[in-house]
């Protein structure tokens, strides 16, 4: 009973503090202050994230990861707005990042389905699709940045070689060479699954 009252009194006094004070407490590594801050905003932020991602599980993962990162880097905190506004803005940004990543994954899936040869029927298997998406992602990440970007612009954004050349201020031949390099590596890494057109 004594401990419960002690926690309650700390929570009450914590909630009456200014943003600047709370920020300084967390920055100094005050675990009790961080826990109280977590309890005060966790559910509201989850509901806020849910408006974007439409999944309770994903919303919770996003908010949990945000708090984890905040505590992991508490010594580096530098917030010019209110702490509450900062957390809502950070949650919003993470939701948008998640949605962007999901859109890329869906494009991978579409790309794989549209560019399969004799293995097309096998690719309806979700595990196969996920594995292939991971291989494509890993392959593109291993390429030079420009080469990977050119491939994404062509295959995922639907841009023609001329359009890519203009956007990146390079020649069409450079675009062709980089596409050739990307396709060659993808064919090699995806040989067991698909034939890239």
Report the CATH number that the domain containing residue 53 is assigned in CATH.
Answer: 1.10.1740.10
pLDDT in tens, 87-145: 899 999 989 888 877 776 666 666 666 655 444 444 445 456 677 777 888 888 888 88
Spatial distance between the Cα atoms of 196 and 114, rounded to a whole number of angstroms: 9
CATH number at residue 122: 1.10.10.10
- Which pLDDT score is estimated for 92? 93
Number of domains in the chain: 2
Structural domain range at position 127: 115-189
Same domain, 75 and 126: no
The answer to whether residues 174 and 144 belong to one domain is: yes
80: buried, middle or exposed (CB in 10 Å: 19+, 13-18, 0-12)?
exposed
Of the pLDDT bands very low, low, confident and very high (cuts 50, 70, 90), residue 76 is confident
pLDDT 10s digits, 143-175: 888 998 898 888 777 788 888 999 899 998 999
The verdict on pTM exceeding 0.85 is: no
194 inside domain: no
The rounded percent of the chain whose pLDDT value lies above 70 is 72
The pLDDT of residue 2 is 39
Per-residue pLDDT at 31 exceeds 90: no
As a whole number of angstroms, the distance between CA 196 and CA 190 comes to: 8
Position 9 confidence tier, pLDDT thresholds 50, 70, 90: very low
Last residue of a domain, one of 73, 102, 131: 102
Is residue 76 within 8 A of residue 154, CB to CB? The reply is: no
The whole-number average pLDDT for the span 8-26 is 59
170 part of a folded domain: yes
Task: Establish if 197 belongs to a structural domain.
Answer: no
Sequence-separated (6 or more) residues with CB below 8 Å from residue 129: 109, 112, 123
Burial of residue 27, with CB atoms counted within 10 A of its CB: 0-12 exposed, 13-18 middle, 19 or more buried: middle
Domain match, 6 and 97 both? yes
- Residue keyed to tokens 């890993």: 138
Determine contact, residues 169/134, Cβ cutoff 8 Å. Answer: no
pLDDT at residue 91, rounded to an integer: 93
Residue 3: band (very low, low, confident or very high) from pLDDT cuts 50, 70, 90: very low
Q: What is the DSSP string of 139-163?
A: HHHHS-HHHHHHHHHHHTS---HHH
If asked whether residues 39 and 94 sit together in one domain, one would say: yes
Contact predicate 81/56, CB 8 Å: no
Task: Indicate whether 107 belongs to any domain.
Answer: no
| 101 close to 59: Cβ distance less than 8 angstroms | no
């Amino acid at each position: 009973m004594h401990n419960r009252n002690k926690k309650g009194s700390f929570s009450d006094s914590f909630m009456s503090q200014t943003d600047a004070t709370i920020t300084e407490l967390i920055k100094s590594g005050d675990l009790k202050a961080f826990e109280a801050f977590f309890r005060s905003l966790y559910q509201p932020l989850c509901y806020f994230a849910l408006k974007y991602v439409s999944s309770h599980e994903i919303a919770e993962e996003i908010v949990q990861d945000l708090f984890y990162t905040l505590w992991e880097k508490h010594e580096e905190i530098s917030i010019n707005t209110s702490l509450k506004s900062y957390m809502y803005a950070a949650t919003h940004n993470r939701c948008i990042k998640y949605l962007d990543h999901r859109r890329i994954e869906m494009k991978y899936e579409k790309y794989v389905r549209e560019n399969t040869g004799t293995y097309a029927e096998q690719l309806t298997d979700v595990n196969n699709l996920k594995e292939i998406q991971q291989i494509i992602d890993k392959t593109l990440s291993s390429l030079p940045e420009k080469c990977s970007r050119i491939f994404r612009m062509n295959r995922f954004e639907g841009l023609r070689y001329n359009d890519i050349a203009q956007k990146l201020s390079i020649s069409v031949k450079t675009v062709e060479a980089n596409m050739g390099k990307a396709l060659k590596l993808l064919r090699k890494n995806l040989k067991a699954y698909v034939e890239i057109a």
